[in-house]
Amino acid sequence: MFDSVAVVGATGAVGSIMRRLMEERKFPYKTMKFVASARSAGKELLFNGEKIVVEELKPEVFEGVQLVIGSTPDETARDFVPWAVERGCLVVDESGYWRMDPRVPLVIPEVNAEEIRKHQGVVSSPNCSTTQMVVALKPLHDYGKVKRVVVSTYQATSGAGLAGTRDLINGTRAALDGKEYKNETFPYPIGFNCIPQIGSEKHDGYTSEELKLLYETRKMLGDDSIMVCPTAVRVPVSNCHSESILVETEKPISVEKAKELFASMEGVVVMDDLSKKIYPMPCNCHDTDEVYVGRIRKDLTNPNGLAFWCVSDNLRKGAATNAVQIAEWIQKNL
């Protein structure tokens, strides 16, 4: 058991879920700190029956803390993680800032938990859209070696934070009422619309969100030869990311074998019966920790190709749950 644990970004959308999960999963600790920006400092949060006052994020807040779990913007993580490591903390960071640093393990516990042992003070949790895809790809890669992936994401507005969800709700209401609405987050209306850009423009017309699907997948599966062609789209759904995935493997995988492999993978649930209209959707995957797969079928253009649909709660397994699972693994194994 850690003597002292701190949750950074404790009042945010993901941080709030982290707090709830740590209560539900009975995460062991002696003392708990909640840390956030100056705007939230001084608020009281109830945790396991105890009122805890939120502390402002400053270097000295990490004195005496052993484990830090953080969910903050990248720029905030850039600054606070070194403060914590310098003071002897082990940091589980949910931001994107440290993920591709070669010194930092990038981890999904069901996929590559042993990488945590290589940490130098920081363990990173991957991007939400990458997480669900890699959990689904892992059993296929172990059996047939993934060579190429074509993925299109249908990403919920909650992935852009609380303001993103407000844009969906208020923008949709305004559209129905025939009124104007000024977005807080998105460059275009999200109600009754799809926006084919998430993140900033990067290499060769791909966005930062799309390149995460490439580089993070390679890092976690330990194979830089895997080719990924990603398209990331924001859709008018409040929570749970969906993905259409086409995977080419070195060894052909039948639909029946794929279902068997998915079912054997920890954290994956198969929902696949087209005749009965059974398949994963955001409405039946919300507020859960699993990765759901369905619409599993052979690629009609490639004997080594397999297509499937994948849905997961981006705030839980895509963010909060994965970070808490990493912390639990550390607690039990290090």
**Into how many domains does the chain fold?**
2
Let me know whether 109 and 168 are in one domain: no
The pLDDT, as a whole number, for residue 145 is: 98
Let me know whether 214 and 113 are in one domain: no
Let me know whether 149 and 101 are in one domain: no
Please identify which residue in the block is written with the tokens 């275009």. Answer: 188
Catalytic entry in 89, 241, 285, 310: 241
The pLDDT, as a whole number, for residue 232 is: 98
Across 79-93, average pLDDT: 98
Place 34 in a pLDDT band, splitting at 50, 70 and 90: very high
Q: For 28-161, where are the alpha helices, taking DSSP H only?
A: 74-86, 109-112, 128-144
CA separation, residue 133 to residues 116, 159, 217, 327 (Å): 20, 16, 8, 21
Question: Does the annotation mark 128 as catalytic?
Answer: yes
Catalytic entry in 128, 240, 285, 310: 128
Let me know whether 146 and 19 are in one domain: no
* Run of H or E residues at 11: none
Let me know whether 176 and 101 are in one domain: no
CATH number at residue 240: 3.30.360.10
**AA letter at 306:** L
The pLDDT, as a whole number, for residue 1 is: 80
Let me know whether 90 and 135 are in one domain: no
Please identify which residue in the block is written with the tokens 């807080």. Answer: 184
Let me know whether 68 and 152 are in one domain: no
Asked whether the beta carbons of 11 and 76 are under 8 A apart, the reply is no
Q: For 30-87, where are the alpha helices, taking DSSP H only?
A: 74-86
The pLDDT, as a whole number, for residue 226 is: 98
Average pLDDT, the chain: 97
Let me know whether 251 and 202 are in one domain: yes
Instruction: Give residues with Cβ within 8 angstroms of 127, minimum separation 6.
Output: 96, 99, 209, 212, 213, 216, 318
Q: How does pLDDT run across 105-137, given as a tens digit for each residue?
A: 999 999 999 999 999 999 999 999 999 999 999
The pLDDT, as a whole number, for residue 32 is: 98
Q: Give the Cβ contact number of residue 283 at 10 Å.
A: 11
The residue segments making up the domain with residue 176 are: 130-314
Question: Does the annotation mark 241 as catalytic?
Answer: yes
CATH number at residue 115: 3.40.50.720
